[in-house]
Structure 1
Amino acid sequence: MGYVLPVLGIVIGAIVLLTVLFGTLFTVQQQTSVIVERFGKFHREVGAGLHIKVPLIDRVAHRVDLRVNELKVKVETKTKDNVFARVRLSVQYRVIPTAVRDAVYSLDNAVGQIESYVFDAVRGKVPSQDLDDVFASKDEIAQYVNENLEHTMREYGYLIVKTLVTDVEPDEKVKESMNAINAARRNAEAASAQGDADKIRIVKAAEAEAEAKRLSGEGVAKQRKAIADGLAESIERVKSSGIDDPKQAADILAFTQYTDMVAAASKHGATTLFIPNTPSGVSDAVAQGNLIADAAKK
């Protein structure tokens, strides 16, 4: 029994010593600031490292993260053309290292305060724009919100690093209407383009046909001129051989053409020929033979 009291005293002394030791020493992590209060009043601010405080008198009241934090806010508002839309924003903020005391004691709920200012800024900007303009000016809206927040929150020890408008989401029925309008516009553009293509094909085909006919006409004209020149030359040659009668020379040429026609017709599958039995019918035969030869070629 005599040894129990000394051992108990040692144990109690060790507990008190450890309590005092752990109550005296404390550590602060990197990118963190700690507010130490004495009897509930601000005493000092310390940064990263190992620190000492007076047990039972001083206490670590607040640990403030100095890193950049992100706050996501969703604001429902109405545009100028009376369309309800949900604007999603991402606010990146941090506590100013030199204003930790203001950040701790100025605001009870910093996140709620930032959200309130975001709501106020967005609902002051978006209702002055149509829905299409809201989509096109997301950066402008973000900058407007950031400027309003940055000026106000700096007074409370917070720095607004960046504000982003991540999404603009109109009502579901409005989205369906917009998709239908876009689809109709694209279909109209496709139909117009198809019509222009058809028109170009028709015009080009007509131009090609006209050009073909023009070239065909020029070819026929040149052919007839060549025939006429050939006949004139042949008549001159017949005359130079001693035949002075033009009619006789023409009959000789007509008969020559007739025989050529007969040979050409036989090459194209003709099996029946009508030959005149008088010299005077040679000219008629030549004309008839030319018709037969042309029909055979077709």
Structure 2
Amino acid sequence: MVQGNWLFCACVDQASVGIVERWGKFQNLAVPGLHFFNPCAGEFLAGVLSTRISSLDVRVETKTKDNVFVQLLCSIQYRVIKENGDDAFYELQNPKEQIQAYVFDVVRAHVPRMTIDELFEQKADVANTVLEELEKVMGAYGYNIEQILMVDIIPDASVRRAMNEINAAQRMQLASVYKGEAEKIFLVKKAEADAEAKYLGGVGVARQRQAITEGLRDNILNFSNKISGTSAKEVMDLIMITQYFDTIKDLGNSSKNTTVFIPHGPGHVRDISDQIRDGLMQASSSGVGEAPPPDLF
């Protein structure tokens, strides 16, 4: 703002408006350009106002509904209304202080009705409320409020730490839930796989024993038919003794075994052959043919 130019001529810059007085009374507005005045008639350029957008940062400290003290940094963008330049020049001594006072009043009346979380979520509503109130007041003084930005909301340091701890605890709780669900799914799938493996293993063992039983039966029948004078019992005893010695040979050739104690003698061989023969006879008499023979060892 430029005041008191007692000159014959003056130049008003672009994006500005001049205030022309005559004998101390407002006469007219001077648009940008060169203007001539008659000092003898009391005309002079009293001042020049810029019509560019100005910015004013206001820091307001207030309390929320949940008793949290916060600082709000507001950025007010305003400009002089060209047509009402005389009101802006004469009505307000210090427009920045006036705007700041109204911002303080509106913010401290609106924010205490909101919690700290609502303030962060609805800071645009606070800015709009301040804008509406300032437009009503400052418009009468020749100023237009272009925009109000709620630049920052700064709670107390202890409140920020508490909010961060709450957020971290909630995230840890959510992570624990996800981790537990993952472990549960892993254990369920592992149990299902184990049950399926055992089932398939049991089916394989049953088929293996069925094949062994059918093979022994065919061998006994073929041997009895080809060699006359032999009974099924004698053929079964011979087969059992042969398998018995084959098993001992396999145990001896295995590199993973060190010492194996096996009952050995004619009596034990006879007992084993009797047990297997009894199992085969029971399977044949029942007509199933799938009954597993007793363990060889």
TM-score range, shorter chain: 0.7 to 0.9
Match of 1:252 among 225, 228, 238: 238
- Tell me the equivalent position of 2:189: 204
Secondary structure of 2:7 counterpart: helix
Which deviates further from its counterpart, 278-287 or 49-58?
A: 278-287
- Tell me the equivalent position of 1:13: none
TM-score when scaled to structure 1?
A: 0.79
| CA deviation string 1:226-270 (max 9, x = no partner) | 211222222232233245622123223223323433443343258
| 2:54/2:78 contact within 8 Å kept | yes
Change (3 A) 1:24 1:260: same
| CA deviation string 1:112-136 (max 9, x = no partner) | 2211221222122211111100000
- Tell me the equivalent position of 1:17: none
Matches within 5 A, 1:58-73: 58-73=43-58
Partners of 1:31 and 1:122 in 2: how far apart?
32
> For residue 80 of structure 1, what is the amino acid of its counterpart?
K
Secondary structure of 1:33 counterpart: strand
Partners of 1:265 and 1:76 in 2: how far apart?
89
Partners of 1:263 and 1:212 in 2: how far apart?
31
Partners of 1:285 and 1:174 in 2: how far apart?
86
Which deviates further from its counterpart, 212-221 or 23-32?
A: 212-221
Matches within 5 A, 1:20-169: 23-55=7-39, 57-169=42-154
Secondary structure of 1:23 counterpart: coil
Identity %: 39
Partners of 1:69 and 1:176 in 2: how far apart?
36
Match of 2:165 among 180, 185, 206: 180
Secondary structure of 1:165 counterpart: strand
Secondary structure of 1:220 counterpart: helix
CA drift of 1:282 comes to 8.0
Partners of 1:279 and 1:125 in 2: how far apart?
100
Partners of 1:108 and 1:217 in 2: how far apart?
99
| 1:257/1:286 contact within 8 Å kept | no
Secondary structure of 1:75 counterpart: strand
| 1:254/1:282 contact within 8 Å kept | no
Match of 1:239 among 215, 224, 238: 224
User: Is it true that 1:268 corresponds to 2:268 in the alignment?
Assistant: no
| 2:272/2:296 contact within 8 Å kept | no
| 1:32/1:47 contact within 8 Å kept | yes
Considering fraction of residues, name the structure with more helix: 1
Gaps in structure 2 of 5+ consecutive residues: 1-5, 277-294
- Please tell me the root mean square deviation across aligned C-alpha atoms, in Å: 3.0
> For residue 234 of structure 2, what is the amino acid of its counterpart?
Q
Partners of 1:284 and 1:230 in 2: how far apart?
16
> For residue 106 of structure 1, what is the amino acid of its counterpart?
E
Partners of 1:32 and 1:286 in 2: how far apart?
119
CA drift of 1:30 comes to 0.8
| 2:80/2:142 contact within 8 Å kept | yes
Change (3 A) 1:275 1:80: closer
> For residue 23 of structure 1, what is the amino acid of its counterpart?
L
CA drift of 1:109 comes to 2.1
- Tell me the equivalent position of 2:286: none
Partners of 1:178 and 1:280 in 2: how far apart?
81
> For residue 221 of structure 1, what is the amino acid of its counterpart?
A
Gaps in structure 1 of 5+ consecutive residues: 1-21, 292-298
Aligned residue pairs total 270
Partners of 1:266 and 1:181 in 2: how far apart?
68
> For residue 31 of structure 1, what is the amino acid of its counterpart?
A
User: Is it true that 1:281 corresponds to 2:281 in the alignment?
Assistant: no
Which deviates further from its counterpart, 90-99 or 185-194?
A: 185-194
Partners of 1:278 and 1:102 in 2: how far apart?
129
Partners of 1:248 and 1:112 in 2: how far apart?
122
Partners of 1:173 and 1:142 in 2: how far apart?
26
Partners of 1:212 and 1:279 in 2: how far apart?
35
| 1:114/1:149 contact within 8 Å kept | yes
